[in-house]
Amino acid sequence: MLGLVAFASALGTAGLAFGYWIVLPRALQWLTHYDDSHFTTLIQAKAYYSFTSTVLLGIVLVFELPVIVLGLVSIGVLSSATLRRNRRLGYFIVAVVALGLPGPDPVTTGLELLPMWALFEGSIWLAFFVERARPDSLAADRFDTVARQPD
């Protein structure tokens, strides 16, 4: 359990760092310099902090994808074979999620999408290694033990 918490914390920290130093500066640059010849940009703190926190929260949640996949593989809902077989559908779903994230321009959306694809691919490999490390009879033993316990 401690390893899972450390893994999730590391992914969240990586997502926060990626969002803060890579995605957010590009998004703010585009928003504040959209058409400088016609517009004067006046930034309000409330709107700035709302946009910043939304972007960073979205990126942090997206970076937790391997933990979600690990949980689904652990309970038997997903398998690495299913993920590999439906890889194209997974890439499409990840792209739709990236389009739903708060990104004002195509470059920012692309910056959000590329690590998401890498995390999805890493999740497939993580599922493969988790399945390989887990004995096949673990699930059957768990159900047999529960069924045999007296009331």
* Cα–Cα distance measured from residue 135 to residue 143, given in angstroms and rounded to the nearest whole number: 14
> 């033990």: which residue's tokens?
145
**Average pLDDT along the chain:** 85
Q: What is the pLDDT of residues 101-131, one digit of tens each?
A: 877 788 888 888 999 999 999 999 999 998 8
* Cα–Cα distance measured from residue 92 to residue 19, given in angstroms and rounded to the nearest whole number: 22
Are 75 and 133 in contact, with CB atoms under 8 Å apart?
no
Q: What's the pLDDT score for residue 85? A: 94
Taking CA atoms, 141 is separated from 103, 129, 136, 144, 146, in Å, by: 47, 21, 9, 5, 9
Are 62 and 93 in contact, with CB atoms under 8 Å apart?
no
Q: What's the pLDDT score for residue 57? A: 92
